Structure 1
Amino acid sequence: MTAQNASWIITGPTSGIGRRTALELAAYGTVVLVGRDPVKLTVVEQQIEASGGHAVPVVADFSDIESVRRAAEEIVALDLPITGVLNNAGVFPLESRTSPQGWDLTYATNHLGPFAFTEALAPHLPDGANVVFVCSGVEDPERRPAVMAGFRGARYLSAEASARGEWKPGGASRQGLDAYATSKQGNLATVLAFAREMPRLRFNAVEPGFSPGSGLGRDAGRVLVFVSRYVLSPLAPMIKYWSTPKRAARVITDVLTADSDASGVYYDERGKPMLGSTQVRDPAFSDRVVAETRALLATIPSTR
């Protein structure tokens, strides 16, 4: 499919890796920008238009399931030839917060929202469309860099427990780390289970590497954000498992636009296949995560 008749959906496109990826994708066709801040969406739209591309902004708050479903309906109504979907939107607050549904904000924004968004779009995507989730190696308790950073892997009990902000005992010293790791495991479980369930579509995942300049840790405090952006970020290309928003965007764009039948593949920060945790690679476990997520989301009635 050529750039003239291809369209790409990207969530969380207004900062960091998401913004860089949106600008990269503009060379491949129309970009549907899905985010919660209409002013910031307009800024990215104008950047793309100024470079000769085309973008369509759609407002959605991924912590709010009703907002996500409305956004999916709006995108379907655009009647665009969707070639790929990038689930990139995410948050990483260090302390517990709640979503409009009263659920844990991190789990809702990072897992439940993208899951609901993807399920709403899937029936309307053409055969071969590529759905990519931005994941994270912190879900794996055996991943040494993540453990050194304070993570203890995903702490999944059930979808309902996660929505309540309850995690398997023995986790990190900060609840936000358990919430983030568990939400990102939910993303990877979704990719692996959906790849089996829906063979007419492609589902893949990318671990973009630790990007201190991405803006994901914007809730960590001004000093840490400043150090991450201006001290650590320039060093990232020289450190294993680290990356930059620009480099991560190129890898993600390559995976999303690849002319390949690959599905159920998890790519690392270099674009090479990698493995998730032992737990998430168990089909019974990933199928359980998906089944429990569907049951939880079914408690939020559709607006249609």
Structure 2
Amino acid sequence: MPDKAYVITGPTSGFGRRTARELARHGTVVLVGRDAAKLDAARKGIEARGGKAVPVVCDLSDLTSVRHAAARIIELGLPIAGVLNNAGIFPNRPGRNALGWDIAYATNHLGPFVFTETLVPHLADGTQVVFVVSAVEDPERKPATMAGFRGARYISAEASARGEWQPGGSKLAGADAYATSKQCNLATVLAFARETPRLRFNAIEPGFAPGTNLGRDANRFLRLLSKYVLSPLAPLIKYWTNPRTAARMIARVLTNTSDATGIYYDEKGRPMRGSAQVHDPAFNARVVAETRALLETVPA
């Protein structure tokens, strides 16, 4: 039995792949993703470096798959020291999951919410639970507004599941869905930190990282430009990063043994503020309550 284990979603590309390798220096890594072949490749990569990894297949847009994956992790009986909700998508066209829910909202918020709530009763006191979020949820964040975002457009959990957002949002395809789902991640962290003080719930804004798989739907030229030109330069630019730099910071937060909880960290690992809305306790409690109510409509 290893001394520690770390669970990470989305470990086969971008931040996730690099972070999984960093975490393997600290213990066994449970690799949670939807592609079995890619998970096996990630496992082999970690083991080739002397680490240990266990793959668990999970489609975060499918709540049944999420519950099965969480149950499988619990069955492993590993001494979990940290859980990293890293997986996320930014589709540039509307999509639906099997329940007819907006694919970005289901994958980025509802899936990780169910995954975390299922694991929480089985986590030891002091376990670190981290969500990778995004500052694009804040309508006052200048780099985000310059890029075309208009902040989160939350109406309710039910409206979000239908793909409905407050009017006056972004003209960028998928931006309102992404920003809203990430605001819900951050709201979850802040509310869970109050609800369950025996665990530590924190969030990370890893910085804008050209070249990650989040932009998988972009055209080939933009993907190549981002990966081979912009990504190496990113750490030199304010608010930017790349997978290697971000992975080191994320792993540092996840393995931190302090009692800090309810903290939102920036790309340098420093505490930061999100939008005024998300830091309102009444708002983040409402997001969690409405999410639970929505999920109760789906048979377990």
Residues 21-40 of structure 1 aligned to structure 2 (within 5 Å)? 21-40=19-38
Q: Equivalent of 1:256, from 246, 254, 257?
A: 254
1:9 match:
7
SS in 2 for 1:110: helix
- 1:269, CA displacement in angstroms? 0.2
Are 2:177 and 1:168 aligned? no
Q: Equivalent of 1:121, from 119, 136, 148?
A: 119
2:211 match:
213
* Amino acid aligned to 2:164: E
1:147 match:
145
**CA deviations over 1:120-155 (Å, ceiling 9, x no partner):** 000000000000000000000000000011100000
- Most deviating of 172-181 and 15-24: 172-181
- 1:234, CA displacement in angstroms? 1.9
- 1:177, CA displacement in angstroms? 0.3
Percent identical residues: 69
Contact 1:23-1:48 within 8 A present in 2 as well: yes
* Amino acid aligned to 2:154: Y
Equivalents in 1 of 2:99, 2:247: separation in Å? 32
Contact 1:211-1:245 within 8 A present in 2 as well: yes
SS in 2 for 1:299: coil
Q: Equivalent of 2:71, from 70, 73, 89?
A: 73
Equivalents in 2 of 1:101, 1:226: separation in Å? 35
Structure 2 gaps of 5+ residues are none
**CA deviations over 1:214-244 (Å, ceiling 9, x no partner):** 1111112212211111221122111100001
2:131 match:
133
Equivalents in 2 of 1:289, 1:111: separation in Å? 11
Q: Equivalent of 1:281, from 269, 279, 282?
A: 279
Equivalents in 2 of 1:224, 1:206: separation in Å? 26
Tell me the TM-score normalized by structure 1: 0.97
Contact 1:267-1:273 within 8 A present in 2 as well: yes
- 1:300, CA displacement in angstroms? 1.4
Are 2:40 and 1:48 aligned? no
- Most deviating of 219-228 and 273-282: 219-228
Equivalents in 2 of 1:134, 1:243: separation in Å? 14
2:231 match:
233
- 1:4, CA displacement in angstroms? 3.6
Contact 1:82-1:129 within 8 A present in 2 as well: yes
Equivalents in 2 of 1:4, 1:13: separation in Å? 20
- 1:44, CA displacement in angstroms? 0.5
- 1:174, CA displacement in angstroms? 2.6
Equivalents in 2 of 1:182, 1:220: separation in Å? 21
* Amino acid aligned to 1:140: D
**CA deviations over 1:164-200 (Å, ceiling 9, x no partner):** 0000000000340000000000100000000000000
Contact 2:2-2:79 within 8 A present in 1 as well: no
Equivalents in 1 of 2:5, 2:277: separation in Å? 35
Tell me the TM-score normalized by structure 2: 0.99
Count of residues in correspondence between the two structures: 300
Contact 2:133-2:182 within 8 A present in 1 as well: yes
2:102 match:
104
Equivalents in 2 of 1:114, 1:122: separation in Å? 12
Are 2:81 and 1:83 aligned? yes
1:179 match:
177
